[in-house]
Amino acid sequence: MSDISDKHPHVRGYGMAGSRSRTRLLQRLEALGVHDSRVLEAMARVPRHSFVDEAMTSRAYDDTALPIGYGQTISQPFVVAQMSTHVLAGATPPTRVLEIGTGCGYQAAVLAELVAEVYTVERIEALYDQARRRLADLGYRNVRPRLAMDGVLGLPNYAPFDVIIVTAGAARLPEALYEQLADGGHMIVPVGESASQRLALVRRQGDHFAVEYRDAVSFVPLIEGTR
Ligand code: SAH
């Protein structure tokens, strides 16, 4: 019998066990306080096992970060849920979102379930290539992956964005991205060293930017410059 994985090599292990562990993960996220049904439904639809190495598929629905090579990780599902909830938190539903730090593309796929257009920037070419192919194979036509050595510079040609989400820890607020926010838009960015990293929310009103610090998080570092 033909299997979905025949046509989509990245879609693996679509069996009962996979769907049971996915359901368990969603229950855990709810228990941890994720209540936005849009986010829970989006995460129920995205096959996280397609975003990790084959050797790691049995752990794909554990609520942990996992290595994806090149010293990088796929974010912990709870953190993806928190970030996605913040993305939707503005006064009006966002349509254009920019993500800095594509990694394996999982957060971009979750966002693609929630908003019309997702731009995502990655500096490691091999990860960019993999993510681009994987997202295309899974049918995410509304994600536009871009390779850029310094994602902190954003995508000025495609600005403004309703939301900018940075999925790597910045040493300081990436102010270069501020002007790529639409008026009324917001940015979500982890700031600080690993032990004391917090999610910063930056809201734009005209030329005024209000910064508020929220949840403690732990992201791999955002690399600045082109070294
Ligand atoms: N969003 C991912 C997790 C990303 S891990 C997920 O869905 O799981 C952080 C990623 O940011 C890494 O792949 C790293 O290479 C990338 N990164 C770090 N600094 C960057 C920069 N300045 N520009 C673009 N990408 C960057």
Q: Which atom of ligand 1 is nearest to the CA of 109?
A: 7
Domain ranges, residue 118: 69-217
Averaged pLDDT for residues 22-30: 96
Extract long-range pairs of 140-144: CB within 8 Å, 24+ residues apart. Answer: 140/108, 140/109, 140/112, 142/112, 142/115, 142/116, 142/117, 142/118, 143/105, 143/108, 143/109, 143/111, 143/112, 143/118, 143/119, 144/117, 144/118, 144/119, 144/120
If pLDDT is split at 50, 70 and 90, which confidence band does 16 have? low
Q: Is 17 helix (H, G, I), strand (E, B) or coil?
A: helix
pLDDT for the residue 5? 40
The number of residues making up the chain comes to 227
> What pLDDT, on a 0 to 100 scale, did the predictor assign at position 89?
93
Using a pLDDT cut of 90, give the percent of the chain over it: 85
Domain count, the chain: 1
Q: For 21-46, what is the mean pLDDT?
A: 96
Q: Is 56 within the bounds of a domain?
A: no
Q: What is the pLDDT of residue 195?
A: 83
pLDDT value of position 210: 98
- At 35-93, the pLDDT tens digits run 999 999 999 999 999 999 999 999 999 999 999 999 999 999 999 999 999 999 988 89
Q: Please indicate, yes or no, if residue 212 is contained in any of the structural domains.
A: yes
| pLDDT surpasses 70 at 120 | yes
- pLDDT tops 90 at residue 163: yes
What pLDDT, on the 0 to 100 scale, is given for residue 7? Answer: 41
Provide the b/e sequence for 187-200 (b: ≥16 CB within 10 Å).
bbbbbbeeeebbbb
Residue 188 located in a structural domain: yes
Site to substitute for ligand 1 among 167, 172, 191, most atoms within 8 A of C-beta: 167
Mutation test of ligand 1: which of 123, 199, 224 has the most ligand atoms closer than 8 Å to its C-beta? 123
| Most confident by average pLDDT, 3-7, 143-147, 149-153 | 143-147
Catalytically active residues, by annotation: 75
Instruction: State residue 225's pLDDT score.
Output: 76
Dihedrals phi, psi of 172, to nearest 5 degrees: -145, 170
| Closest residue to atom 16 of ligand 1, CA basis | 101
Task: Kindly list the protein residues whose Cβ atom lies closer than 6 A to any atom of ligand 1.
Answer: 72-75, 100-101, 103-104, 106-107, 121-124, 127, 148, 150-152, 167-168, 220, 222-223
In a domain, 35, yes or no: no
Alpha carbon of 103 to ligand 1 centroid (Å)? 5
**14, part of any domain:** no
Q: How far is the CA of 43 from the centre of ligand 1 (A)?
A: 20
- Is 102 a domain residue? yes
pLDDT of residue 2: 39
CA 75 to ligand 1 centroid distance, Å = 10
Asked if residue 62 is part of any domain, the answer here is: no
In a domain, residue 50? The reply is no
The percent of residues in the chain predicted with pLDDT above 70, rounded, is 92
Instruction: Write the CATH number for 119.
Output: 3.40.50.150
